[in-house]
């Protein structure tokens, strides 16, 4: 909230200018796209990030915008500021990164949720939580509907993320019931696109970087496990629709693209689109890797009028173009290739 500046000679005027929006995890993959869209739609954006997996490069183009502000801050610590809406995205999302420091991952989800909910409660503003399809674990129900309670290992290597996000959902609903906080919980399914880190470790960026740099594609297990991939622009549209929904729309709402693919199909599509004949090498399937995943998006369709538009082939094309440009940009390209080798 900004007070309108008083100009000399003008009548006394007190009022507010643009809506001020806090995006935690704003320098990350999805967060940076969200910041860009919010600015384009006329908001002031406060991007809060500790750069654990996020990058300054993702938000570099926004830094000259007077409506954009960045704060290096870890959401596990309290944050006192004044905003009109909160998108809580801070949390590493790639298995490689969230398993690197699992205690910090749980703290980020749980303490981050407490602090951001405390902020939303004090300011009486809406808050959106970026939850995840991981709350369904290795799902025994297919496709996954919001009513499904999931099949999650509470003590495995993915638990820091899955259970952290589940506890965050619990906190959101308890702050809603107990303190009437206006909450918006979305469960995001695998999302991909430009601004993923070349070393992110998730499957889409791994396969593309491998194909572009002539390295073998690492297929975990036999490659028959499935995922459903949503292009980031569609996802950001869903996040903004959810934030703009009526206060009784708390969620949880699934956001994802229901087109389902095996990882083998994804590997073949990436090779074909890159025009690369790199071999596929099999690596062991990580523990607790979900066998199948596909969102039921009837709730998002009905309550938000949202449906993803970008087909995998088209979204992969745009993502390949992004990585191609990034990796050919000397000297940074050389550095990135070295990182991914």
How much of the chain is helix, strand and coil, in % rounded to 5? 40, 15, 45
Which tokens hold the place of 340? 């991914």
Binder among 47, 79, 171, 230 for ligand UDP (CB under 6 A): 79
Q: Applying CB under 6 A, what is the total number of residues that bind ligand UDP?
A: 24
Residue 161 falls in the annotated catalytic set: yes
Residue closer to ligand NAD (CB basis): 43 or 75: 75
If you search the block for the tokens 């990585």, which residue do you land on? 323
Q: Is 304 in the site for ligand UDP (CB under 6 A)?
A: no
Question: 90 near 77, Cβ under 8 Å?
Answer: no
> What is the closest distance, in whole angstroms, from the C-beta atom of residue 19 to ligand UDP in the complex?
18
> What is the closest distance, in whole angstroms, from the C-beta atom of residue 152 to ligand UDP in the complex?
13
Distance CA(17)–CA(84), nearest Å, equals 11
Question: What's the gap between Cα 183 and its chain centre?
Answer: 17
Which residue among 161, 175, 192, 231 is the active-site one?
161
Binder among 118, 258, 317, 333 for ligand UDP (CB under 6 A): 118
Q: In angstroms, what CA-CA distances link 340 with 56, 142, 273, 318, 336?
A: 19, 34, 20, 20, 6
The vertex-75 CA angle with 71 and 80, nearest 5°, equals 65
Q: Is 95 in the site for ligand UDP (CB under 6 A)?
A: yes
For 136-149, letters b (16+ CB in 10 Å) and e give: bbbbeeebbebebe
Which tokens hold the place of 212? 């572009």
* Beta-bridge partner residues of 21: 45, 85
Q: By CB under 6 A, what part of segment 225-284 binds ligand UDP?
A: 225, 227, 263
**Of ligand UDP, ligand NAD, none, which one does residue 191 interact with (CB within 5 to 8 Å by kind)?**
ligand NAD
If you search the block for the tokens 């200018």, which residue do you land on? 17
Q: Is 92 in the site for ligand UDP (CB under 6 A)?
A: no
Question: 60 near 35, Cβ under 8 Å?
Answer: no
Residue closer to ligand NAD (CB basis): 96 or 276: 96
**Of ligand NAD, ligand UDP, none, which one does residue 144 interact with (CB within 5 to 8 Å by kind)?**
none
Q: Where are the beta strands (DSSP E) in 111-199?
A: 127-132, 183-188, 191-192
Residue closer to ligand NAD (CB basis): 137 or 278: 137
Residue closer to ligand UDP (CB basis): 78 or 214: 78
Q: Which residue is nearest to ligand UDP (CB)?
A: 118
> What is the closest distance, in whole angstroms, from the C-beta atom of residue 231 to ligand UDP in the complex?
15
Residue closer to ligand UDP (CB basis): 105 or 115: 115
**Of ligand UDP, ligand NAD, none, which one does residue 114 interact with (CB within 5 to 8 Å by kind)?**
ligand UDP
Residue closer to ligand UDP (CB basis): 222 or 329: 222
- Using CA atoms of 36, 42, 46, 47 in order, give the dihedral in degrees to the nearest 10: -10
Question: 318 near 194, Cβ under 8 Å?
Answer: yes
**Of ligand NAD, ligand UDP, none, which one does residue 50 interact with (CB within 5 to 8 Å by kind)?**
ligand NAD
Q: Is 219 in the site for ligand UDP (CB under 6 A)?
A: yes
Residue closer to ligand NAD (CB basis): 24 or 278: 24
Residue among 35, 324, 295 nearest 190 (CA): 295
Distance CA(336)–CA(210), nearest Å, equals 11
Q: By CB under 6 A, what part of segment 175-204 binds ligand UDP?
A: 190, 202-203
Residue among 210, 198, 202, 209 nearest 278 (CA): 210
Question: 86 near 125, Cβ under 8 Å?
Answer: yes
The residue ranges that bind ligand NAD (CB under 6 A) are: 24-25, 27-31, 49-54, 74-76, 89-93, 108, 112, 130, 132, 188, 190-191
| Active site members | 161
Residues that bind ligand UDP (CB under 6 A): 78-80, 94-95, 114-115, 118-119, 121-122, 190, 202-203, 206, 218-220, 225, 227, 263, 285-286, 289
């Amino acid at each position: 909230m900004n007070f309108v500046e008083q100009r000399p000679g003008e009548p006394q005027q007190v009022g507010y200018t643009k809506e001020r929006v806090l995006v935690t995890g704003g320098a990350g993959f999805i967060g940076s796209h969200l910041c860009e869209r919010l600015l384009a739609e006329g908001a002031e954006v406060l991007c809060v990030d500790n750069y654990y997996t996020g990058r300054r490069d993702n938000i570099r183009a926004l830094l000259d915008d007077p409506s954009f502000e960045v704060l290096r801050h870890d959401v596990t610590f309290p944050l006192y500021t004044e905003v009109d809406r909160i998108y809580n995205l801070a949390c590493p999302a790639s298995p490689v990164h969230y398993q690197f420091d699992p205690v910090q991952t749980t703290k980020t989800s749980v303490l981050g949720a407490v602090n951001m909910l405390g902020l939303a409660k004090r300011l009486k503003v809406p808050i959106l939580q970026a939850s995840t399809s991981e709350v369904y674990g290795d799902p025994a129900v297919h496709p996954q509907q919001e009513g499904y309670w999931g099949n999650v290992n509470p003590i495995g290597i993915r638990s820091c993320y899955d259970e952290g996000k589940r506890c965050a959902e619990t906190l959101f609903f308890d702050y809603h019931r107990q303190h009437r906080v206006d909450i918006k919980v979305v469960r995001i399914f695998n999302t991909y696109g430009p601004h993923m880190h070349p070393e992110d470790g998730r499957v889409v960026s791994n396969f593309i970087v491998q194909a572009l740099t002539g390295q073998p594609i690492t297929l975990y297990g036999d490659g028959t496990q499935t995922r459903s991939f949503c292009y980031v622009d569609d996802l950001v549209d869903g996040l903004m629709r959810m934030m703009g929904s009526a206060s009784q729309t708390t969620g949880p709402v699934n956001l994802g693209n229901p087109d389902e693919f095996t990882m083998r199909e994804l590997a073949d599509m990436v090779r074909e689109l890159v025009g690369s004949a790199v071999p596929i090498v099999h690596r062991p399937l990580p523990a607790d890797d979900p066998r199948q995943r596909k969102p039921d998006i009837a709730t998002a369709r009905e309550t938000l009028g949202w449906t993803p538009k970008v087909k995998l082939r088209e979204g992969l094309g745009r993502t390949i173009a992004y990585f191609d440009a990034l990796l050919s940009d000397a000297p940074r390209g050389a550095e990135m290739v070295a990182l991914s080798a």
